[in-house]
Structures are given as C-alpha cells and as structure tokens.
C-alpha cells in the first residue's frame, strides 16, 4: 500500500531524528518519523546531557520539562588518588549546567515535542528497504507491526537517523571508516544514597581488583530517582581492545569504585547492557542526492568523551536547515550544504580529537597524561572545556587549542 508524499521521511526517532523532525515541522514542512520501537523505550546510554545538549533542548522549547530532572554543575574527575571537581565553564552560548535524564524519558519527551510541532510519528514501524527510482532514494518500505504489513512511504528527502548500527544507512551505501576510533561502552543502574549529587563522576584510571591498570574509563552519573547510572567504556585505539570483554571491565569497575556509592550486585536494578559509539564523523558518506545521515548513523559521537546526544541534536538541526533550503529553492543540490556545514563546524575539532585518542591509545601514555594533568586544576579545566567542545569564542580556535594541548602533553610523556 502506498501513502501520501512527505517533504521528509525520517528513519529513527532518537535524538537525531526527533530534532530533525522538530525543526522541519517548525518550518511548516510535512514530516514523518518512523520509529521501530514504541515510546517510551529504553536506549543503552550514560544519560548524561552536557551544556551543548541542554542548549539544543532549550532551543526546542523543553527547558521547563528538563527542570523536572537531575541538574548537575560539572565533572568530578578522579585519577591517581586525586579528585578534582570542575564546574562547567561560563560560556556565552551554552548554559553552565547539565542534566542526567534517563533515555526512556528523554527520547519520549523530544519525540512528543516534534509531534506537537506538527510532525507525524509512526511507532512500532521499521523502515526495511529504500524505495528506489532509477537508483535514487524516494522513500522507504516500512513494516508496521500493528498492521502486520508493509507500507510504501514516499518523500522528497529521507533522513537516516537509525543509530549506531544503521542498517537502513547501510542499504543506502554508508560504511564506517575503520581507521577512525570506535567506542564501546556498557552501563547499568544501581540504587544509591548519593543518587542526587550535583556532579557527574569520571574515573580516568580504572584498575582491576589486583590493582592492574585497565584500558578505558569509568563513570558514575546520579540520576536523581534513587538510582545512579554506572558504566565504562574504551576506544578501539587502545592496544588489544578486541580482546577486552566490556562485561568484565564493568565488573572490575563496579567492584573497585568508591564504596560510598554502594555499587554491588545487590543494589543493581537491571543487568548491564552495552553498545557501540561510532565517532568523529566516521560513517560516510553523510549525504546522497536525496538523503542525509545524522547522529550515530553518521558516526557523529565526540571521540574525546563519548558524548553523542548533543551532536545528534545538532546534526539533526543542521540537516533540517539543508532540507529546508532544498525545499525552498526546489533544488536537491542544496542538500550538499549539509556536508559543508559538518566540515565547518566539526571538521578540525574531530580531526584533533582523533589525533588525541590515537595518542592515548597506549595505556602508558594515557596513565602519564592523566597523572600529569591531575596535578593542575587550570590544565584539567581547560581539558574539560576542550573535551566537551565548550571553548569560548574569545579563546583560541578550538581545534588549534586542542592540538596545542595534545602536543604539549605528549611532549612531557617520558619515552
């Protein structure tokens, strides 16, 4: 059965797809989101929203809704016996606070907001194959669980927002560049008396029970509902990453994390689950003649810190602007402005981040950098601003600054 034609069909209703739908609907465009799950649905995540993500949510009119959740002031970094509490910096464009919101609630809220703006959402509806005309993508065949049948949806433009595995994107020919870093992470929830602390915590030198260093980092994010989100992750730039079992890494971190959090099998509220984080714009191409890829489907996660929600909102919004241009001028070529925008906004930053994570791929280098860094609060505050992409415009261009930092730190590492 064929349906009417939309201006844009959005495959996936997570942060990237919902943001893209919101901005197009706000411009009065006819948008359909197809989402294979039914909201509210869970998504494996640390649930941490940085100031960049909060800015996007505020811009979508969700500031009041966010205030029902746990607001935090900054990052507590712990390594080599040193603890540094670093508030988010003042910035002209971003708030100086973040939130922790379970994805179960967050994604439901953002998708509902897109619907309120005028988008149509089909839940339990999976885009399975593209509709092609002379090799050009014109929509998707969508399996609707409730009807138990396929519907052909046609649209002027298709937005691929189907997340890290991006099966629909692969149908269109996207592929991950394997020379770019890939993140792997795992998380679980635990009941904790400190569930409403105003800091997110990051452990930069995690060890096993015998005290041996492990590649990767750990986090403890207070959720404010009686639980904390605990997880750990590592990048494919770490030597021997293929042999690392993230469940074992999680067990080791849970067993050695500060006792006050009360992280134990008895306080766990669910079994841990994991996922992949494609970073640095690693999934390409980002744009075709009639389609664009956004969020994890474009490999947009920040390689510095594993943050993907803010970039998903941002790339969704940038994609909406390019589609708007293409529709307004009735010129599909305008879609190509998307790639240019991505390059202008993230190109140098992502490149620098890739360099940095290559450098810390050697556990000895990582150890030495964190040891040296943790001795200096100003240095670590600068690192925090760079890693969360929050340098102020009056500071050096972000990528140059980051590059200088990397080369300065790498220089002090013995050998």
Check residue 15 for interaction with ligand FAD (CB under 6 A): yes
Residues 386, 364: Cα–Cα separation, whole Å: 22
Helix axes 103-116, 15-26, angle to 10 degrees: 20
Contact indicator for 5, 133 with CB cutoff of 8 Å: no
User: Could you write out the DSSP letters of every residue in 48-83?
Assistant: EE-HHHHHHHHHTT-HHHHTTSEEE-EEEEEETTEE
Q: Considering only CA atoms, which of 123, 156, 129, 121 is closest in space to residue 8?
A: 156
Window of 87-95, 179-187, 210-218, 285-293 that interacts with ligand FAD by CB under 6 A: 179-187
Taking CB under 6 A as the criterion, the residue among 7, 8, 9, 13 binding ligand FAD is: 13
Q: Which of 9, 54, 301, 383 binds ligand FAD (CB under 6 A)?
A: 301
With tokens 């991006």, the residue in question is 166
* Closest distance to ligand FAD from the beta carbon of 328 (Å): 25
Map residues 31-50 to x or -, x wherever contact with ligand FAD holds by CB under 6 A.
---xxxx-----xxxxxx--
Question: Which region among 28-36, 190-198, 201-209, 351-359 touches ligand FAD (by CB under 6 A)?
Answer: 28-36
What does the per-residue mask of binding to ligand FAD show for 145-174, with x meaning CB under 6 A? Answer: ----------------xxxx--xx------
- In the list 8, 12, 203, 318, the residue contacting ligand FAD (rule: CB under 6 A) is 12
Taking the C-alpha atoms of residue 121 and residue 108, their distance in angstroms, rounded to an integer, is 11
CA distance 266 to 287: 47
277 forms part of the interface with ligand FAD (CB under 6 A) = yes
How big is the site for ligand FAD, counted in residues (CB under 6 A)?
Answer: 42
The helix (run of H) or strand (run of E) holding residue 130 is strand 125-133
> Alpha-carbon distance 46 to 51, whole Å?
15
**Alpha carbons 114 and 32: distance in angstroms, whole number:** 10
187 contacts ligand FAD (rule: CB under 6 A): yes
Q: Cα torsion at 42, 316, 121, 11 (round to 10°)?
A: -80
Does 16 contact ligand FAD by CB under 6 A?
yes
User: Which lies closer to ligand FAD via its Cβ, residue 128 or residue 351?
Assistant: 128
Q: Report strand pairing: 82-87 vs 217-222.
A: unpaired
Is 204 among the residues that bind ligand FAD (CB under 6 A)? no
Using CB under 6 A as the binding rule, the residues of this chain from 106 to 145 that contact ligand FAD are: 126-127
Query: Residue 200 CB, nearest distance to ligand FAD (Å)?
Result: 8
Q: Does 215 bind ligand FAD (CB under 6 A)?
A: no
Instruction: Kindly list the residues in this chain that would bind ligand FAD in the complex (CB under 6 A).
Output: 11-17, 34-37, 43-48, 126-127, 161-164, 167-168, 185-187, 231, 274-275, 277, 295-297, 301, 306-310, 312
């Amino acid at each position: 059965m064929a349906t009417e034609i939309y201006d844009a069909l959005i495959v996936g209703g997570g942060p990237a797809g919902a943001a893209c739908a919101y901005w197009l609907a706000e411009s009065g465009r006819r948008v359909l989101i197809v989402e294979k799950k039914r909201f509210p649905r869970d998504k494996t995540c640390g649930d941490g929203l940085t100031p960049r993500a909060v800015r996007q949510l505020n811009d979508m009119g969700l500031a009041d809704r966010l205030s029902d959740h746990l607001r935090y002031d900054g990052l507590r970094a712990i390594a080599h016996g040193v603890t540094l509490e670093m508030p988010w910096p003042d910035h002209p464009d971003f708030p100086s606070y973040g939130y922790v919101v379970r994805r179960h609630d967050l994604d439901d809220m953002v998708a509902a907001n897109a619907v309120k703006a005028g988008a149509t959402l089909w839940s339990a509806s999976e885009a399975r194959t593209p509709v092609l005309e002379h090799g050009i993508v014109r929509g998707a065949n969508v399996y609707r669980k409730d009807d138990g049948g396929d519907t052909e949806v046609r649209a002027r433009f298709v937005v691929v927002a189907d997340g890290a595995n991006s099966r629909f994107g692969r149908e269109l020919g996207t592929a991950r560049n394997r020379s770019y870093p890939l993140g792997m992470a795992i998380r679980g929830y635990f009941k904790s008396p400190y569930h409403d602390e105003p800091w997110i915590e990051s452990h930069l030198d995690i060890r096993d029970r015998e005290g041996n260093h492990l590649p990767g980092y750990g986090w403890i994010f207070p959720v404010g509902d009686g639980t904390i989100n605990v997880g750990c992750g590592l990048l494919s730039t770490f030597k021997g990453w293929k042999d690392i079992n993230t469940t074992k890494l999680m067990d080791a971190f849970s067993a050695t994390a500060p006792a006050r959090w009360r992280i134990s099998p008895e306080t766990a509220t669910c079994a841990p689950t994991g996922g992949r984080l494609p970073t640095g714009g690693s999934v390409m191409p980002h744009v075709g003649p009639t389609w664009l890829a956004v969020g994890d489907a474009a490999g947009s996660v920040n390689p510095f810190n594993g943050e993907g929600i803010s970039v998903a909102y941002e790339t969704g919004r940038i994609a909406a602007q390019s589609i708007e241009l293409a529709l307004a001028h009735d010129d599909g070529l305008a879609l190509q402005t998307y790639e240019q925008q991505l390059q202008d906004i993230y190109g140098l930053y992502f490149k620098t981040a890739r360099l940095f994570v290559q450098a810390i791929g050697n556990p000895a280098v990582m150890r030495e950098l964190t040891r040296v860094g943790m001795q200096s609060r100003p240095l670590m505050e600068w690192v925090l601003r760079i890693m969360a992409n929050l340098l102020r415009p009056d500071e050096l261009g972000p990528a140059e600054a980051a590059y200088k930092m990397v080369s300065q730190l790498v220089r002090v590492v013995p050998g």
